[in-house]
């Protein structure tokens, strides 16, 4: 962006930075690319200009979801990417029968499983290969890490469970802190 001219700024497409090229061409082109720009960086986009100049066929692929190819160059962009991935995961859980109130505040790691008809209230975190059984209720603000919650368990608000096994229909009171 800092090195873009007005014509380039009017372009409404982004470069996702994904390239398919022959190795011999790629390494030769990389030797040509300089760092004469405001960032002092190697711009891989210069490889496209080199390919065009040398008469190679260059094609673009328009991906239907720009979010899938956006770069992460700052903590703000990292938070956006993480949020998008978490929302997709939460959506899949909801489509599979999990109730999630305020899904933008709920974090479920991809290596954890949540059973059908479970309910996750705002601010819940489930991480570390945890298993939450069917019909469980995780109240607001609870943190579950490396736990196995049998079907129908209820974990009260702001409880923290680490490396625990909770039996069928067991009720953990709010503000509980339990390790192993």
Mean pLDDT in order along the chain per 10 residues (180 residues): 78 82 93 83 88 93 83 91 95 99 98 98 99 99 99 99 96 97
- The reply to whether 13 and 88 lie within a common domain is no
- The reply to whether 34 and 106 lie within a common domain is no
Is 156 a member of any domain?
yes
Give the DSSP per-residue string, 81-94.
HHHHHHHHHHHHHH
Is 38 a member of any domain?
yes
What is the pTM (predicted TM-score) of this model? Answer: 0.76
Is 65 a member of any domain?
no
- The reply to whether 149 and 93 lie within a common domain is yes
Q: What is the pLDDT of residue 62?
A: 86
- The reply to whether 102 and 163 lie within a common domain is yes
- The reply to whether 121 and 167 lie within a common domain is yes
Q: Where are the alpha helices (DSSP H) in the chain?
A: 6-9, 23-32, 46-53, 75-95
Q: What is the pLDDT of residue 2?
A: 67
CATH of the domain at 117: 2.160.10.10
- The reply to whether 44 and 10 lie within a common domain is yes
- Token pair in block for residue 79: 């938070």
Domain residue limits at 20: 6-53
Give the count of beta carbons closer than 10 Å to the beta carbon of residue 9. Answer: 9
Q: What is the pLDDT of residue 9?
A: 83
- The reply to whether 47 and 116 lie within a common domain is no
Is 117 a member of any domain?
yes
Is 132 a member of any domain?
yes
Q: What is the pLDDT of residue 1?
A: 62
Domain count, the chain: 2
């Amino acid at each position: 962006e800092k090195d873009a001219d007005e014509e380039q700024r009017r372009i409404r497409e982004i470069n996702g930075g994904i390239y398919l090229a022959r190795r011999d061409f790629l390494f030769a082109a990389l030797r040509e690319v300089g760092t004469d720009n405001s960032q002092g960086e190697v711009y891989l986009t210069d490889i496209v200009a080199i390919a065009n100049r040398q008469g190679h066929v260059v094609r673009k692929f328009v991906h239907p979801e720009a979010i899938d190819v956006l770069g992460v160059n700052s903590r703000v962009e990292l938070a956006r990417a993480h949020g998008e991935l978490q929302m997709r995961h939460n959506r899949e859980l909801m489509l599979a029968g999990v109730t999630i109130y305020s899904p933008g505040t709920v974090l479920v790691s991809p290596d954890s499983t949540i059973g059908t008809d479970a309910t996750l209230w705002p601010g819940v975190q489930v991480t570390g290969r945890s298993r939450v059984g069917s019909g469980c209720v995780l109240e607001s603000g609870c943190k579950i890490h490396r736990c196995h919650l049998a079907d129908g368990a209820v974990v009260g608000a702001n409880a923290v469970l680490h490396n625990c096994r909770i039996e069928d229909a067991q009720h953990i009171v709010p503000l509980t802190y339990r390790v192993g």
